[in-house]
Chains A and B, each alone.
Chain A
Amino acid sequence: MLVQFIQRAMMQGIPLLLGSTGEIITEKAGHLNLGIPGIMYVGSISGVIGSFIYETSVGPQNLNPVLAVLIPLLSSIFGSLVMGLIYCVLTVTLRANQNVTGLALTTFGVGFGNFFGGSLIKLVDSEMPSITLSATSNIFRTTLPFADKLGVIGDLFFSYSFLVYVAIIIALVASWILSRTRIGLHLRAVGENPATADAAGINVNRYKYTATCLGSVIAGLGGLYYVMDYANGIWSNDAFGDRGWLAVAIVIFALWRPHISIIGSFLFGGLFILYNYVSVPGAGIEVQELFKMVPYVVTLIVLIFTSMRDKRENQPPQSLGLSYFREER
């Protein structure tokens, strides 16, 4: 039971991890991208569309495993990249307000996901309001062959599909790049004070574009993981829910550090599904709703405490949310 809980918590945490890693990279460049929930929807549905086309064109029995992974992966990356570019053009080049742009992107992305999801559902004409891509999903969920021979250790550490490890590696690499390399230093400089970075000869716009687009792509993978792995290849509208916002919350929880975000995501994943495992004697199903509140409350407490302690390294990037205009220094 405990092992199963930890497994489920980790699987639940992966979309959050990818989303929050993407958002951290974006925020380090000084851009508060509130479009992440929409981007994750688009990443998810683009993958679904890609694999749907591939599955229907060759038939679910004779999928080529490499193509079956590559096609959804590439279409997901493409989808979220386009979203990231829209955000960049508006906020970096056209200097639009980031909050407004992000929210519009979320409206658009969620609408895009549900629209094409709904259209595909209508296309297959199934009785359930969902699309099932089990064949592709099975390939995505292939695990290491020796995992079940290792007992509890195998269950805890080796029983996941490749995207889980990819997510953790991305977070670790991102953390390393941000804190240990010159590129990371430049990126942080851009987020803290773009004018200073500019004066130091750093190409501010290039860093902003790269970081935001890369962040979007990583977040989009979270959406892909959700539908292909966690949901067993079943897309139904709105199933992804508020996970995107939770990913934004984890950024705060992790104090803008991707490696803490790994722990944060698994913790939040656990909190997210806790209500399935905890039963309060004498309470009805309504108590579940209070359990679902816990992740948000925890985030708030972290947010309040970090601002109260006011340690400089735990603060959001200083120019977060502000556009940079060279001539205005």
Chain B
Amino acid sequence: MRFHIVKRDQLVWWKSWGVRILSVIVGLLVSALVTVVLTGDNPIQVFATMVDGAFGTERRLWTLGQGIAILLCISLAVTPAFKMRFWNIGAEGQALMGGFAAATCMLFLGDKMPTGILLCVIAVSSILAGAIWALIPAYFKARFGTNETLFTLMMNYIAIQIISFFVYKWSNPVGSGKIGVINPDTRAGWFPIIAGKTYLLNILIVAVLTIAMFIYLKYSKHGYEIAVVGESENTARYIGIDVKRVILRTMFLSGALCGITGFLLVCGTDHTITRETIAGRGFTAIMVSWLAKFNPIFMIITSFLLVFFEKGATQISTQFGLNDSFSEIITGIIIFFIIGSEFFLNYKLKRDEKKGVAK
């Protein structure tokens, strides 16, 4: 008996999400198996630990929310570019440049203006820094067709080295190789604490951005143009869309949102900058966005999943004395399963009909 593969029509939403949820469950079971082999504890205990790690205390809940907000923000940033089939894997560098702009403003303008104006100045400069870092590869892609995946990848490392350079140069105390918390006394450029919750402002900003991005992609003319360019550049040209302009505009937006992510991380979370500030989220964002099929609302779910695994697996590793990288293994396994499940959403296996014998 042989099978062949045929393309499926679009599945109804509950079936497709059923398949995805099933794949997550299978992924979780495999991860549980791995964990049991490594720790020798029973799997229910392991899951309980994961849930505890993510939701256990109020503090953990807020960190979870904050983690989701940041990951969601950078995922929103890469989404319009991906929808256009522009593989921007340089979100890491773009966000880092945004964060760098924020840190620079905090360092040099911290005592020169009131916090409200300072935060506005920082926001604008972060957005510009991220956008410029994204426009460089976009320009070359639009003008010469330069491969954007490899270009943006290189831009990440250039950004990282620039930040390393300045982190050493401005290190505090001198020679420590760290900038340390910026303006710890005056708190200039720090996000204000709303209703006693440190991370509330971050989460609110990202919530607004999510809805805005959903509307932008779904209902605006720009969103439509992005979708057409992504489906077929020739069609886009034929119906009179200026492809180069769309590429540049979309990458400007993508970079600007990355810049905002950097701004949220530096002013709203860490209050410092290191070369590790973005911590690989620029790459994780690609998975978040892709798994959610570029839908900003679904991205809330996918970024929740990834942050949950990260926090949960970190808790497992502390509780059972494993090391931190355990969470990356678990995340990897589950993502493999989700990626694999996409196949069953797009294709189905059909049994070959018997040939030869006439009926």
Contact = CB atoms under 8 A, between A and B. Distances in A.
Contacts of A107: 280, 283-284, 328, 331-332, 335
Interface in A147-166: none
Interface in B30-62: none
Per DSSP, chain B at the interface is helix
Interface in A283-320: 284-287, 289-290, 292-293, 296-297, 299-300, 303-304, 307-308, 310, 316
B336 A86 contact: yes
Interface in A207-237: 237
Q: What does DSSP make chain A's interface, helix, strand, loop or mixed? A: helix
Interface string B75-112: 00000000000010100000000000000000000000
B146 A114 contact: no
Interface in A102-160: 103-115, 118-119, 122
A123 to B, nearest CB: 12
A99 B340 contact: no
A304 B343 contact: no
A50 interface: no
A108 B169 contact: no
Contacts of A308: 144, 146
A299 B7 CA distance: 39
Interface string B285-325: 01100110000000000000000000000000000011111
B149 A290 contact: no
B146 A307 contact: yes
B125 interface: no
Contact of B165 (A86, A118, A245, A289): A289
A321 interface: yes
Contacts of B324: 114, 118
Contacts of A287: 165
Nearest to B146: A307
A32 interface: yes
Contacts of A310: 144-145
A103 B164 CA distance: 24
Given A90-B339, A113-B325, A115-B328, 5 more contacts: A94-B340, A107-B283, A107-B332, A248-B153, A287-B165
